[in-house]
Amino acid sequence: MKLHNERLYARIPIPLQNALISVYGWQVLRRRSGPDLEAAKRLLEESERYDKTRLREWQDEKLKGLILYAYETVPYYRELMDSLHLRPSDVETVDDLAKLPVLTREDIREQGERLLSTAVKSKSLRRVATSGTTGAPITIFWDRGVEIFNNACMHRFHHLAGIDPREPFATLMGRPTVPLSQTKPPFWRYNAARRQLLLSTLHLRPDNISSYARELKRRRIAVLEAYPSSAYILAKLLKDAGEELRFRIVTLTGEPLLPPTRSFIEKHFQCEIFDAYGAAERTLFAAECERHEGLHIFEEYGVTEILDGDGLRLPHGESGRIVATSLHNRATPLIRYACGDIGTISETPCSCGRSHPLFEDLTTREEDILVLPDGRLLPPLFLLSGYGCITGIRKAQVLQDEPSAIHIKLETDHPLIAAEVAVLMDYLTKRLGNGVKITLERVDEIPLSPLGKFRRVISTVPLPKNNNT
Ligand SMILES: [Zn+2]
């Protein structure tokens, strides 16, 4: 919905808002289904049992077509490959991808429409703007093919999680559908196209929480999809209010899922959790299976590589930048796109027998990484165990604008205790070094990002550049 439409939307009666949401829901559903979706679902059912070699052959075949297409129809890739004296026939396998440089967010911003294929009709495309915590947003386009394939992967994920596509579910994430000015329930809207209850993240407060629980029980909703932080807030507020609420399945995506958050949500809702990872750039899709040993990378979706600081591919088991190539988007083909996340692909296959490799330790985004004066890069998980010494801590957020200083906001139940602060300061100094000035601040609430996400670290210090990226 565009901004001026959002203002209009806020003024119309609630039943009409529900009708509008449902009409929009039907349009999206129609665009993402049909014979093409059924074909993609059949392929994914079959390829779920491919062995490693067969999966790689499938990727190579798809990649070969993509490179030829990009060379012939995308001005940026034509020029890039010509300047590197590469012909499409030089990049025919996943291993050959190393001949091409990494594509960064800055590249996408600079190249703009030169990354758009001349073979697609712009009317049939969806324009998507994605933004990190820092930096300007980038715009890419999806064609119908990538929307269909993404939907087929969602079907596979739901199948792995044991969710019936027709069963009602609730969503606690994404765009606000309930105007902030509304002070009384319903703090939700209903998308009849998908039997989806859209819960408002912005209205989750102790005095409102019982109304959420009543509505979810009344509708007998057993499946929730949410961000880890929003599911946590729902569970915590319900727990504090003494309300019991059960879900059968909770699917989580959009933020790294930490073990304490996971067990808290699992315990309160008495549910089974399925974690998934995706990106608006549509280069990567990964999700847990019933064994919960990590997130299976859906290799039919794209080619995923882990690179070191010099742009060289790392073996499984080592942590580095996630770089991924979409095998399906023919509008803005992204080849070796560095999405800004850091991760590790497991050396061990999943015990379920599927040969799709597992992500372990899907850390975070580049802007979540602290850059220290001595050049060290610190993932936010590194600081996490230090907060354990502060009793009554709910959340902590680290802000960094220059390498030599960090500011930490602590959201706690009660005022800070000097002795605990001393332990934390000692812990931090040992890890960050004496060259970093650390300041702490207790706050009542750490605000979420406009889309309702919680960031543990927000650093505006750019990561060191290297030649390959
Ligand atoms: Zn598995």
Convert the pLDDT of each residue in 341-398 to its tens digit. Answer: 778 899 999 999 999 999 986 655 556 667 778 766 665 655 666 787 888 787 888 9
Distance (Å) from CA 47 to ligand 1 centroid = 14
pLDDT interval class at 70 (50, 70, 90)? very high
Distance (Å, whole) CA 411 – CA 44: 44
Statement: residue 227 has pLDDT above 90: no
Distance of CA 150 to CAs 41, 335, 338, 431, Å? Answer: 10, 17, 19, 41
Distance (Å) from CA 347 to ligand 1 centroid = 14
Tell me what the pLDDT averaged over the chain comes to.
88
Distance (Å) from CA 353 to ligand 1 centroid = 7
Q: Which domains does the chain have, with CATH numbers?
A: 32-167+222-366 (3.40.50.12780), 369-459 (3.30.300.30)
pLDDT given for residue 301 in this prediction: 98
Least confident of 33-42, 79-88, 436-445: 436-445
DSSP SS3 for 189? strand
pTM for the whole thing?
Answer: 0.80
pLDDT interval class at 463 (50, 70, 90)? low
Distance (Å) from CA 291 to ligand 1 centroid = 6
- DSSP string over 305-357: EEE-TTSPBPPTT-EEEEEEEESS-SSS--SSEEEEEEEEE-SSPPTT---S-
pLDDT interval class at 3 (50, 70, 90)? very low
Q: Whose CA is closest to 47, among 62, 67, 66?
A: 62
Distance (Å) from CA 355 to ligand 1 centroid = 8
Residue type at 24 in one-letter notation: Y
Distance (Å, whole) CA 461 – CA 145: 37
Statement: residue 265 has pLDDT above 50: yes
Distance (Å) from CA 296 to ligand 1 centroid = 6
